[in-house]
Amino acid sequence: MPLTLYEGDGAGVINGQLYVAGGWNGYLPTDTLLLYDPPSNTWTYLPSMPLLSGGGATGVINSQLYVTTPEDGYDGYYNFLDMYDPLSGIWTSLAQSASAHANPAFGVINGLLYVAGGVNGNAVVTNVLEAYNPATNSWTTLAPMKTAVQSPASIALNGKLYVFGGSDGTNNVATVQVYDPYKNKWMILSSSASPGALSGWSGVTVYGLAFVEGDTGLGTTNEYFAFLPSIP
């Protein structure tokens, strides 16, 4: 990458290209939007975000990039949402969520962006789940998580949102939480589904497998999880 980033807003793939928005660089987040093109193995700077942004969530819906901003590096936590249109190269500010979500779980399911947990506007780790609907430019608050966490790994798989580990604000946890949008219900898988209590995770799905990476506090580890196509 052309610059060093940490605690970013996630990434999204549109038409086979990787979009990386925001992220901390030193003492402040950046407002950069980077595009990686695999065939040419090159990075390109795209139009900057409307504000400095870190610790957020990213989702791709209808070939457009949606990015939340809970941190601008100055004071407190926020609940901003912006959308980038690759065709026009324009950022658009959208409806704000009810709660801030710094370093949350997130994923896109059936055209909705789900954002769960993270640190809220009172600097408290929250269990709040919200979903953004681009068709109505509105957020809906849904069933809260079983365990409030920040900095988990999260993926959307088989129509459900999986949340791996994270920190409850004091300790890392080993729980794997699963949200079913159709039932608006959370369940917790056996703690044996996770290799241990980790935070600072990232995750991706490939051929029905969930690959996750996390930090034990003593160093990083790499694990993978394989789930059956359906879970009760």
Quote the pLDDT of residue 14.
97
To the nearest whole percent, how much of the chain has pLDDT over 90? 71
Quote the pLDDT of residue 174.
81
Over residues 132-146, the mean pLDDT reads: 98
The CATH class of 1-94 is: mainly beta
Residue-wise pLDDT tens digits, 18-71: 999 999 999 999 999 999 999 999 999 999 999 999 999 999 999 999 999 999
Going by pLDDT thresholds of 50, 70 and 90, the confidence category of residue 165 is confident
Quote the pLDDT of residue 190.
63
Quote the pLDDT of residue 175.
86
To the nearest whole percent, how much of the chain has pLDDT over 70? 84
What residue spans in the chain does CATH classification 2.40.10 cover?
A: 1-94
Quote the pLDDT of residue 191.
55
The CATH class of 104-232 is: mainly beta
What residue spans in the chain does CATH classification 2.120.10.80 cover?
A: 104-232
The Cα 25–Cα 30 span in angstroms is 6
Residue-wise pLDDT tens digits, 68-101: 999 999 989 999 999 999 999 999 999 999 999 9
